[in-house]
Amino acid sequence: MAERKRQLVANELTEAALQSLALKGFDAVTIDEIATAAGVSKRTFFRYFASKEDVVVQFLADMGAGIRTELAGRPAGEQPSAALKHAVWVSMAACGDHSGHAARALRVVQLILRTPALLARFLERQAQWRDDLAAELAHRLELDPETDLYPRLAAGMALTAYDAVLRRWSDSDGAEDPAALIDRAFAVIAPALDAPGAGSPRPST
């Protein structure tokens, strides 16, 4: 019960912070405002987060963990492009759910991409996502991540597609459909991801 309550408070703080930051801008929002919006004290805020930036960083960490979890749950025989596309799309959909609706999700994405400090942390997190996805791909395909180039290359391509979609969606102010953008992006990289032998396990000797 204590852990559940802690998670609920963390979720409330994250929701209040993302909504306020997206509406007013990163520099314009105070921690007092975030705490008030979440219905907690400033002291409670600091039990969960060290700064406003940490709220967004945790949000990004959760997104990355979600991508890996979704990839791990895909059918074993599924083509890598299909598995990675699903994992990336679920993360984007979760971003929308977490933010309440598509318009708010868009504002959160724009906040991250247009705030230099947050963009730097986003790119830093993407590097960790790539390592995690590469490890998961290596596990799924029974490849050695230390010697086989495929897992890291495939993870990098998937996350480059993801980044391109987020930026296109942000630049269009939501005019473009993110689901359609994901389809288009993965149509470009699928031939490389699914090339014969590209991600095949090495025969045992």
Q: Summarize pLDDT for 121-151 with one digit per residue, the tens.
A: 888 888 999 999 999 999 999 999 889 999 9
When mean pLDDT is compared across 70-74, 79-83, 114-118, 185-189, the lowest value belongs to 114-118
**16 and 97 belong to one structural domain:** no
Q: Hey, what are 152's tokens?
A: 């890291």
75 and 111 assigned to the same domain: yes
Identify whether residues 118 and 165 lie together within a single domain: yes
For residues 45 and 56, state if they share a domain.
no
Q: Is residue 198 part of a domain?
A: no
Residues 18 and 70 both lie in one domain: no
pLDDT score of 155: 96
Provide the sign of the torsion angle of the four alpha carbons 85, 90, 96, 98, taken in this order: negative
Q: Is this model's pTM higher than 0.85 or not?
A: no
Enclosing domain of residue 26: 1-49
184 and 118 assigned to the same domain: yes
Between CA 39 and CA 56 the distance in angstroms is 19
Q: Could you tell me if residue 35 is inside a domain?
A: yes
Assess if residue 204 is contained within a domain. no
User: What phi-psi label fits residue 100: left (phi over 0), alpha (psi between -120 and 50 degrees) or beta?
Assistant: left
Task: Say whether pLDDT at 97 is over 50.
Answer: no
Q: Is the same domain home to 129 and 178?
A: yes
Same domain, 32 and 117: no
Asked whether the predicted pLDDT for residue 2 surpasses 80, the reply is: no
Predicted confidence band of residue 109 (pLDDT cuts 50, 70, 90): confident
Same domain membership, residue 60 and residue 141: yes
- Which residues in 84-95 are b (16+ Cβ under 10 Å) and which e? bbbbbbbbbbbb
Q: Give residues with Cβ within 8 angstroms of 172, minimum separation 6.
A: none
Shared-domain flag, residues 25 and 93: no
CA angle 105, 81, 188 (to 5 degrees): 80
Pick from 22-31, 32-41, 57-66, 101-110: least confident: 101-110
Domain tally for the chain? 2
In the predicted model, what is the mean pLDDT of residues 9-38? 88
The CATH number that applies at residue 9 is 1.10.10.60
Determine, yes or no, domain membership for 90: yes
**Residue 125: how many other CB atoms lie within 10 Å:** 18
Task: Give SS3 for 73.
Answer: coil
More confident residue, 89 or 102: 89
